Amino acid sequence: MYKNLLIATDGSDLGNKALDAALALARQNHATLTIVTATDPVATGIGAGGFGTIDAGPIVARLEEAYATEAANLLADARHRAQDAGITAETLHLPRHRPADGILETAAAKNCDLIVMGSHGRRGLNRLLLGSQAAEVLARAAIPVLIVK
């Protein structure tokens, strides 16, 4: 049924549950997998050019480097899990991307036919204040989305 799945993960427990679900679906459907993690742009509130005597550029660079290292570790683990399951998987880190935007752009670029991702299941005021990347992907996606809780 599905032949080209995109799994969005952030390394959380729910992200790992979503990865497990995607691996099972990929195995059942003999599908390939694109595993994606996105890291938001670093916002300092003072800009990368500096403010007064503070130069935020080196701070931003160190944060982005830490994000890239964390993403590389997360994706290496996901790739090994896919390999252990006998599934072909490509991994992508999308730096400086809002997760929903990166997920949707990648799904379109890779011609994916299903997006799998976790949802923290926030309700009420918390959802309004914190937003929901899963809800945004679900609302904007042109292909089916499987939300794992």
Domain boundary assignment for the chain: 4-148
- 62 vs 121, higher pLDDT: 62
Q: By the 8 A CB rule, do 148 and 118 touch? A: yes
Q: Spelled out in words, what is the top-level CATH class assigned to the domain 4-148?
A: alpha beta
Answer whether 0.75 is exceeded by the pTM: yes
Q: Is 129 helix (H, G, I), strand (E, B) or coil?
A: helix
Average pLDDT score over the chain: 87
Output the pLDDT for position 56.
72
Confidence of residue 130 (pLDDT cuts 50, 70, 90): very low
- Taking the C-alpha atoms of residue 53 and residue 61, their distance in angstroms, rounded to an integer, is 18
- 50 vs 33, higher pLDDT: 33
Which pLDDT tens digit goes with each residue over 64-93? Answer: 999 999 999 999 999 999 999 999 999 999
